Structure 1
Amino acid sequence: MGADGGITDDFTIPGVPDSFQRLWTPHRMAYIKGGQDQFKHQDDCPFCAAPTRSDAESLIVHRGVHAFVVLNLFPYNPGHLLICPYRHVPDYTDITVAETAEIAELSQTAMRVLREVAKPTGFNLGMNQGNTGGAGIAAHLHQHIVPRWGGDGNFLPIIAQTKAITQTLDEVRELVSEAWPSGAGANGDRD
């Protein structure tokens, strides 16, 4: 609309440059093309497959009795962890009291460990429930633990949905797993 409230000819035509710079993230197309149906069954679910492989291969930081801690493959920040129940359940109301307690304990331990190894000044914790709630993998419940630092919210993640990560996932997994206390929700780690 123009300054006078009338319609103007200033609209964007696909393929014609506008005032925005764009940073493309084509790896996200797998989620768009595959849709949420690709993870509804345990056989297709990366959170169900992860515990069947070695910790290093799956980026698992810790294995508990009812849940495990794994690095996010597409982290918002270095040290972005996920707490996942072993059971393939989609909703927070589907987990047992024991699973709820261990997920809470592992979340607290994750925060303590990340404070020790990475010195974040804050955290985002959360569960995105269902497709509409923004869950990337809605069929398998997972709790996000995202360490935050002052100034980490620059224009790249906010505008371009692109994040510069300063360490490899292997380096982060090694630091966090080495600092993880041996008695917290122990079920034995595998390498």
Structure 2
Amino acid sequence: MIRDHNPEVIDISVYRDEFYAVSVNLYPYNPGHLLIFPLRHIEDIRDYSPRENRRLEELLRYFLDLSDQSYSPQGYNIGYNMGTPAGGSIAHLHLHLIPRYHRELGIADLIAGKRVLVEDPRETARKLKEKIAQTPFSSAIS
């Protein structure tokens, strides 16, 4: 999605509108780990326009509901990694939405590189696209 439609990069995107794209994380911490990123190049959260902020809030609520239906997590980590020292791996702002469960690795363990992958990201994308087709996101943004 970000790689100029390179056929060697697998497409695990699940949603796109005029402001944002949503994709499954290729290296997920948990099944359902999503990235919400603006189509406009932004590196700092303070650069969002008011319209982008409103749409992000709407998308976040929609994908939280979708994740609840699909994965039944007990909690979430939601956040940004702005800049390399903070763990940012690409210079384009993106929001992580990570379903969390009791008795699993902590976020510090996950950030340190430990993984317990129980679902292929392509399968996650397929499942979420089916859910989106059943419950489409709709919002009138001004």
TM-score range with shorter-chain normalisation? 0.7 to 0.9
Q: Secondary structure at the match of 2:85?
A: coil
Query: Which of residues 96, 102, 108 in structure 2 aligns to 1:144?
Result: 96
Per the TM alignment, residue 57 of structure 1 is displaced from its structure 2 partner at its CA by 3.6
Distance 1:65 1:158, change over 3 A: closer
Alpha carbons 2:42, 2:92 under 8 Å: kept: yes
Q: What's the offset of the Cα at 1:96?
A: 1.3
1:49 paired to 2:3: yes
User: 1:182: how far off?
Assistant: 1.5
Residues in 2 aligned to 1:103 and 1:49: alpha-carbon distance in whole angstroms: 22
> Structure 1's 159 and 116: CA in aligned 2 closer, same or farther, altered over 3 A?
closer
Higher strand share: 2
Q: Give the TM-score, by structure 1 length.
A: 0.63
Alpha-carbon offset, residue 160 of structure 1: 6.7
**What code does the residue aligned with 1:49 have?**
R
1:99 is the counterpart of 2:52: yes
Distance 1:182 1:160, change over 3 A: closer
Deviation of residue 185 (structure 1)? 5.3
TM normalised by structure 2 equals 0.83
Given residue 115 of structure 1, which amino acid in structure 2 is its aligned partner?
D
How far apart, CA to CA, are the structure 1 residues paired with 2:111 and 2:22? 29
Question: Residue 71 of structure 1 corresponds to which residue in structure 2?
Answer: 24
Are the equivalent residues in 2 in contact too, given 1:64–1:185 (CA < 8 A)? no
Q: Alignment partner for residue 83 of structure 1, among 2, 26, 36?
A: 36
The match for 1:122 is 75
Root-mean-square deviation (CA, aligned residues, Å) is: 2.5
For residues 15 and 118 of structure 2, the distance between their equivalents in structure 1, rounded to whole angstroms, comes to: 22
110, 114, 122: which one aligns with 1:170: 122
SS at match of 1:49: coil
1:183 is aligned to 2:137? yes
Which stretches in structure 1 are left out of the alignment for 5+ residues? Answer: 1-46, 187-191
User: Which structure has the larger Rg over C-alpha atoms?
Assistant: 1
Percent of matched pairs sharing the same residue: 31
Query: Larger RCO: Structure 1 or Structure 2 (Cα < 8 Å, ≥ 6 residues apart)?
Result: 2
Q: Any gaps of 5 or more consecutive residues in structure 2?
A: none
